[in-house]
Chain A
């Protein structure tokens, strides 16, 4: 069946991206794999829907991020929220620029409150355009931009206070 072939292609093409997103959000390898498998099971159940097939990647990314948010909420509600100031005071100009490692950045992103964690990952890990993020998260374009700006500020405070 052509639909089954489409689904198989979608699984092979998108599983690496969905897994990357789930691992970045959750950190737990097994949990991330379960989330990805469940997302594909949901997609398969709705594969008759031409809309789902036509927008399979954003649809799957949305399912994965929603599930990860739910799991994160159960595991660590309200993580580190109060430690993030509105605008960090800049360090003295003569202090050398300390560049955080990728692992440090990933850890800090994971600690960000929602929706900042998600928008940052959709933008920088999944390279989605702002318009695509707006569709995936269901918020206006302007809000997405302000969320990303705020997310960077929060991350900056978290990494290099």
Chain B
């Protein structure tokens, strides 16, 4: 066994089998360099054991969590998980109408609002332009109602009545969650659209390295590491000086915990940048 074969960390962590461990021990007995390294790694492991497991001052955090939980009764999560974000928003508006002292002028109490929304959306493609305008305006008005609901809920939260405050807080949270759900849905739609556009671009121009690179970047956002690597590799085949493709592939390899591969790609980026710098310096 040579010094480069010795896996001191694995030896000290107990990850080697008996035969391997005995070999390392024999090497350590005859190699002062590795024995010194073993002492340093052991000192580090001892220090790691001192990392705090608990924080002594967590009581205020625990108290804040419990206060929050007691104040709110358990949320009706089913409401937040209703099939369409629109129906959630309308459910919230209906709920707001039940909060005392709130104007909530356009809210209705019992209507199945999702159906109304569906009708409005259908009317956006109505043959009659006046109907299309009307439907569009109605949807824009709904957005204004939501904004109004936020303000009304903030006022309600300042009410002295504990029940009103609790209801207003629950409603405000439902509103925030519904809007967050909308944002997520929109982001996912956006990613699907971008992917479709890039797929098409690659089909139309299969030798365009930047198209492959852009699709790789989108796949990185989606944490599809293997797919990202495949796209980067194709981009690199088409343009071996495309440093961005090496960089993107390094990120994907990090995602797959292929540290050596990631370092190799990053080194390649440096080499390309140095080559480019030298080329720029050359007299023209």
Contact = CB atoms under 8 A, between A and B. Distances in A.
Interface of A: 4, 7-8, 11-12, 15-20, 23-24, 33, 36-37, 40-41, 44-45, 47, 78, 81-82, 86-87, 90-95, 97-100, 102, 105-106, 109, 113, 115, 120-121, 124-127, 143, 145, 147-150, 152-153, 155-156, 159-160
Contacts of A92: 33, 36
Contacts of A24: 51-52
B204 interface: no
Contacts of A106: 51
Nearest to B15: A145
Contacts of A47: 74
A75 to B, nearest CB: 17
Contact of B51 (A36, A86, A105, A145): A105
A63 to B, nearest CB: 13
A124 B44 contact: no
B15 A17 contact: no
Contact of B41 (A45, A109, A115, A152): A152
Given A15-B61, A40-B65, A99 B43 contact: yes
B58 A19 contact: yes
B64 A124 contact: no
Contact of A93 (B10, B33, B65): B33
4 closest A-B pairs (Cβ-Cβ)? A16-B54, A90-B37, A93-B36, A16-B58
Nearest to A41: B68
Contact of B53 (A17, A91, A149): A17
Contacts, number: 139
Main secondary structure of the interface of B (DSSP, over half): helix
Given A99-B47, A153-B9, A37 B68 contact: yes
B51 A11 contact: no
B33 A156 contact: no
A15 B36 contact: no
A17 B35 CA distance: 36
Interface of B: 3-4, 7, 9-10, 13, 15, 32-37, 39-41, 43-45, 47-62, 64-66, 68-69, 74-75, 77, 251, 254, 257, 259-260, 262-263, 266
Given A16-B55, A37-B65, 9 more contacts: A11-B69, A15-B59, A33-B60, A37-B64, A41-B68, A91-B37, A93-B33, A94-B36, A109-B51
B51 A97 contact: no
